[in-house]
Amino acid sequence: MAQETVHYSHSEKDFILSPHSKKAPKRMASLMELKEIFRSADAVCFDVDSTVIREEGIDELAKFCGVGDAVAEMTRRAMGGTVTFKAALTARLGLIRPSYEQVQKLISDNPPQLTPGIRELVSRLHQRGVQVFLVSGGFQSIVEHVALQLNIPTANVFANRLKFYFNGEYAGFDETQPTAESGGKGKVITHLKEQFHFKKVVMIGDGATDMEACPPGDCFIGFGGNVVRNQVKEKAKWYITHFDELLKELEER
């Protein structure tokens, strides 16, 4: 039998967009309208890898387990555009095969580094009564560690879960989590709207899967403070490189 535990993910960032993503035919919101949605949002969802934190979780885990170069090469091949996120995640984790002990040691010895400005931005959102969620293709244990640093309830974390046998060996990952699938972040936002009756939900992230989540999200803000993904920079109507830009927007009102 396997016991479940946490997860860290990899670049869902540049993988192909889900063929099931629905693009609304209505007129695209202007930048001014997007800023107003952000200022009046009920909830803000953040991607984690290369957005809330500076690193890509699965890359750090691969390096820690001694297979960094091989996983990086798999990533380069995968980004050719024909592989789904779940298939790519399965292949990488199959090569890394991290044990429970290795994951915990990575967190303690090399904890994820918060992106400058994120702590202040999350605090300001909380002060305004805005619900903040972490929606990540990364691993639950890593993302929960980040959430605790930002005073975000672990119930507001949506991420992938690694599985381990009782001796701590890698046993796979929970494939039923929405974040394990292409298009999963949009499913999470739909769930949040249905559960909490949010009217305006913002998604902030560096990758294509973050952009894909709007709609159902009402506003997407591309983030390039750690890594610039050209597809996102070119297509996002609102693109920032530092969280101070969003803090200033909140001060406008």
Q: Is residue 158 part of a domain?
A: yes
- pTM metric for this prediction: 0.81
Asked whether the predicted pLDDT for residue 75 surpasses 70, the reply is: no
> Cis link prior to 216 (omega < 30° from 0)?
yes
Residues of the domain holding 132: 31-55+112-251
Residue 46's pLDDT band (cuts 50, 70, 90): very high
206-225 mean pLDDT = 87
- Residue appearing with tokens 């010895």: 109
Catalytic residue positions? 47, 49
The pLDDT assigned to 225 comes to 87
The pLDDT assigned to 10 comes to 40
154-162 mean pLDDT = 92
Q: Is residue 202 part of a domain?
A: yes
Residue 15's pLDDT band (cuts 50, 70, 90): very low
Q: Is residue 146 part of a domain?
A: yes
Q: Is residue 246 part of a domain?
A: yes
The pLDDT assigned to 227 comes to 81
Q: What angle do CA 8, 213, 218 make, to 5 degrees?
A: 130
Looking at the structure of the chain, the number of domains it has is 1
CATH number of the domain within which 48 lies: 3.40.50.1000
The b-or-e profile of 158-196 (16+ CB within 10 A means b, else e) is bbbbbbbeeebebbbbbeebbbbbbbbbbbbbbebbeee
Average pLDDT, the chain: 82
Q: Is residue 177 part of a domain?
A: yes
The pLDDT assigned to 85 comes to 77
Cβ atoms < 10 Å from Cβ of 211: 22
The pLDDT assigned to 4 comes to 41
Q: Is residue 199 part of a domain?
A: yes
Q: Is residue 119 part of a domain?
A: yes
Nearest to 239 by CA among 28, 13, 31, 26: 31
Q: Is residue 18 part of a domain?
A: no
DSSP 28: P
